[in-house]
Chain A
Amino acid sequence: MIKRNNKHIDNPFYDPTLNGRHRKSKRFKAFTATSLIFSIAFLIFFLYDMISKGTPAFEQAYIKVDVTYNEESIENSRTAISSEYLGVVSRAWLREIPRHVEQNPSLMGQTISVWALADDQVDQYLKGHYYKLKRKDRALIDDLKAYGNVELKFNKIFFTNGDSKIPEFAGLNSAVIGSILTLIITMLFAFPIGVMTAIYLEEFADDNKFTQTIEVNINNLAAIPSILFGLLGLAIFINLFGLPRSSPLVGGLTLALMTLPIIIVSSRAALRAVPDSIRQAGYGLGLTKIEVTRDHVLPLAFPGILTGSIIGLAQAMGETAPLIIIGMIAFIPDAPSSVFHAATVMPAQLFTWSGMPERMYVEKTAAGIMVLLTILISLNSFAIYLRKKYEVKW
């Protein structure tokens, strides 16, 4: 130790603590890097977990069985197939048999070999998950498998069907339509009101008490917990105005109020980015304030406004809590035909499925999450693309 110190004895600037301080500095840098790596590692693990849980749901078990279409089997669809198959073919699929004949009357009186939807337990058994099958049914499946009469096929039902209490028959369709209707209402209200507020605050308003109140309000609105918007929707839209419960109309209005601050803030930023010289030139040519705003400022700010609105839309699309409060978690097997009918939205559907006891719903929830995240990430990427494309340096 003494030797090491001697080396520096002639250097008047030598600081014996320096090495330690540099080590400390390095440790600090390592800490900050670790925290960032933690976030990224979480994201990777999360995506891996969802994909590995959700991918199996895109395939579903089908069984080849002989189906007899006659008067008796339409009356009681359990007689349409040989009774030994009753434990392995989906009950929901059997119930559909009269509809098959309705759609295709030439089936009447025939016995044909069809790929029938299998029971969810068969599906889970084939995928190697936990299953509850009677011993004789399991033997039957093993037998059929040997002949190639059981297969995992692409799960079309997941995209074409609505919700169902029978897990193999449940799909996202009605929730997707509900989401679309809800978001149309959201945008119909939030977009014009948001943009108008932004225009007023940025182009017309003087800095007075009124505008300051609006400003503070917008900031507060952005930070109010989403569930409180649900309480607002319940108390005002449903109890006071008497709008139909669980409907896309109420859901859309509630989400619109939540999305408003996002649209206002981003629209204001876009309007502020338009240089004053453009306004001055317009005034110089004798245009009125409204003409300048409408014909010159707004078109230039539009890409920015659109970007913010898409981000707001994506956020509204993932929101669940307020919609639960206004009753959008009801069991909705059929897609809503108007904004006044009871509907469910994608995140609410996922919430319902995640609470179901059957193992297959876990798979379906994860698959639904994959669909939802794909839509959200595409929306956000589109917004970023727009921003990059129309980015102007004045």
Chain B
Amino acid sequence: MLKERVIKIALILASTISILTTFGILFSILFEAISFFQLRSFWYFLTGTTWSPGVIGSQFGAVPIFAGTLMITFIAMAVALPVGLGSAIYMSEYATGRTRDYLKPVLEILAGIPTVVYGFFAAITVAPFVVKAADFFGLEATFNSALASGIVMGIMIIPVISSLSDDVIRAVPDSQRKASLGLGMTQGETIKNIVLPSALPGIISATLLGFSKAIGETMIVVMAAGLRPNLSFNPLEDMTTVTVRIVDALVGDQAFNSPETLSAFALGLALFVVTLFLNIISLMMIRKFKEKYKVNTL
């Protein structure tokens, strides 16, 4: 059966493409990042507070960029976590089957909107609104505020959190709810004290996934956040993120081997390491949940 062997080998080769891709990403980023660190200090990259590419004596200290990324990510999570989790709880615990059938597609549409569209919306509608609102309270906001891009990014992440949380909350066995209600707990208490703690590994997994999505999100911040590395705690100021700086470094006209261009790969490496770490923990949490309830649909 030579033909069978050939087909089987072809199938195995196809399967290895995913592994090759992962290693391709890792190595292509790693090698360029190493050549960056041969030009500039690795420690200054991690701990330096001045990022000034394109000038004489350019410096590459990424702390303000990491800080900006974290700031926007936290704003996004502050929007996405309560709204996403709340939606998931309503859909899985309160809504009737029919309402659910209508509501779920709505959240799916939210998930299907391209990020460039969210970015345009953030830049053209939300950012001016933030400026006006800040003005109303006597504050001053820039048109590239971290707040505007953070809010829109949060809305983008709602479906990420709600759909996975919805799955895990529904996977919690009904007997637990019935036992709790039978002992005289209200429905709200049952959800808060019984269902949510049981679903916690899954919810943490969803949150981490949302977190890694926010850190890696590019178009919204490229279009709505600033370019200026800014070490500040004021969300009304402009800030920049890792992904914005990667795009900025690579759309310019500099020679490929200049530290300006190669810095994109150093930032890419940081992004890869952080998101990979978050994804692995997220996968471990969901596996823990699966083992606990022996569900295999997630």
Interface, chain A (partner B; CB < 8 A): 15, 21-22, 24-29, 31-36, 38-40, 42-43, 46, 49-50, 53, 192-193, 196-197, 199-201, 204-205, 213-214, 216-221, 223-232, 234-236, 239-240, 257, 260-261, 264, 288-290, 314-315, 317-321, 324-325, 327, 329, 347-348, 350-351, 354-355, 362, 365-366, 369, 372-373, 376-377, 380, 384
Choice from B1, B12, B115, B276 contacting A224 with Cβ under 8 Å:
B276
Q: Please, how many angstroms separate the alpha-carbon atoms of A135 and B28 in the complex?
A: 58
Assuming A35-B90, A228-B25, what are 8 further A-B pairs, CB within 8 angstroms? A21-B189, A25-B188, A31-B86, A33-B94, A35-B87, A225-B216, A290-B4, A320-B219
B268's partner among A33, A43, A227 (CB-CB below 8 A) is A227
Given A24-B186, A324-B251, A354-B120, A204-B11 contact (CB < 8 Å): yes
Which stretch, B53-61, B102-110, B132-140, B170-178, touches the partner chain A? B102-110
Residues from chain A with a CB closer than 8 A to the CB of B82 are 35
B124 x A227 contact (CB < 8 A): no
Q: Are A235 and B115 in contact (CB under 8 A)?
A: no
Shortest C-beta distance, B35 to chain A (Å), equals: 11
Which residue on B lies nearest to A291, using beta carbons? B4
- How far apart are the CA atoms of A53 and B116 in the complex, in Å? 16
Residues of chain B within 8 A (CB-CB) of A261 are 18
Bound complex: CA A344 to CA B248 (Å): 18
Q: Are B247 and A25 in contact (CB under 8 A)?
A: no
Are the C-beta atoms of A25 and B189 separated by less than 8 Å?
Answer: yes
For residue A261, which residue of chain B has the nearest CB? B18
B218 at the interface (CB under 8 A from A): yes
- Listed by A's residue number, 11 A-B pairs whose Cβ atoms lie within 8 Å are A21-B186, A27-B188, A34-B86, A50-B117, A214-B16, A224-B275, A227-B246, A229-B25, A257-B21, A288-B4, A348-B116
Q: Which residues of A contact B113 (CB under 8 A)?
A: 46, 318, 373, 376
In the assembled complex, the CB of B13 is this many whole angstroms from the nearest CB of chain A, namely 8
> Once the chains are docked, how many angstroms separate the CA of A348 from the CA of B108?
23
Report the Cα distance A372→B275, complex, angstroms: 29
Chain B contacts with A in 39-96, Cβ cutoff 8 A: 82-87, 89-91, 93-94
Query: Quick check: is B17 within 8 A (CB to CB) of the other chain?
Result: yes
CA distance A315 to B114 in the complex (A): 8
Chain B interface size band reads 35 or more
A200: chain B residues at CB < 8 Å are: 8, 11-12, 14-15
For B256, the chain A residues whose CB sits under 8 A away are 239
Q: Which of B272-287 contact A (CB under 8 A)?
A: 272, 275-276, 279-280, 282-283
On whether the beta carbons of A32 and B87 are closer than 8 Å, the reply is: yes
Interface string of B215-255 (1 = CB under 8 A from A): 11111001100000000000000000001001100110000
B29 within 8 A of A: yes
Total CB contacts across the A-B interface at under 8 A = 253
Chain B residues within 8 Å of A290, by CB:
3-4, 7-8
Report chain A residues within 8 Å CB of B275.
Answer: 223-225
Q: Which 7 A-B pairs have the closest CB atoms?
A: A225-B216, A318-B114, A35-B86, A25-B188, A235-B28, A196-B14, A321-B218
CB-CB under 8 A from B4, the residues of chain A are: 288-290
A325-B8 CB under 8 A given contacts A214-B15, A225-B271: no
Contact check, A197 vs B14: say whether CB atoms are below 8 A apart: yes
The 8 Å CB contact of B272, one of A192, A197, A228, A351, is A228
Residue of B nearest to A234 (CB): B250
Binding site of A, secondary structure by majority: helix, strand, loop or mixed?
A: helix
- Identify B117's interface contact among A199, A201, A315, A350, CB under 8 A: A350
Residues of A within 8 A of B28 (CB): 231-232, 234-236, 240
The smallest beta-carbon distance between B123 and chain A, in angstroms, is: 7
Least Cβ distance of A50 to chain B in Å? 7
Q: For the complex, is B192 an interface residue (Cβ under 8 Å from A)? A: yes
- A22 to B222 alpha-carbon distance, docked (Å): 47
Residues of B within 8 A of A22 (CB): 186
> Which A residues are in CB contact (< 8 Å) with B19?
213-214, 217
CB pair B21–A35 under 8 Å, yes or no, is no
B212, A225: Cβ atoms under 8 Å? yes
B267 to chain A, nearest CB (A): 10
**B264 CB-CB contact with A under 8 Å:** yes
For B11, B15, B25, B247, the residue with the greatest tally of chain A CB atoms inside 10 Å of its CB is: B15
**With A329-B251, A354-B223 known to touch, is A220 a contact of B279 (CB < 8 Å)?**
yes
By the criterion CB–CB under 8 Å, are B106 and A226 in contact? Answer: no
Residue of chain A at shortest CB distance from B212? A223
Contact of B215 among A196, A225, A229 (CB under 8 A): A225
Q: In the complex, what residues of A have CB within 8 A of residue B124's CB?
A: 53, 354, 362
Interchain CA distance A50-B122 in the complex, whole Å: 12
A49 and B15 contacting across the interface, CB-CB below 8 Å: no
Q: Say whether B114 contacts A223, CB under 8 Å.
A: no
Shortest distance between the CB of A348 and any CB in chain B (Å) = 8
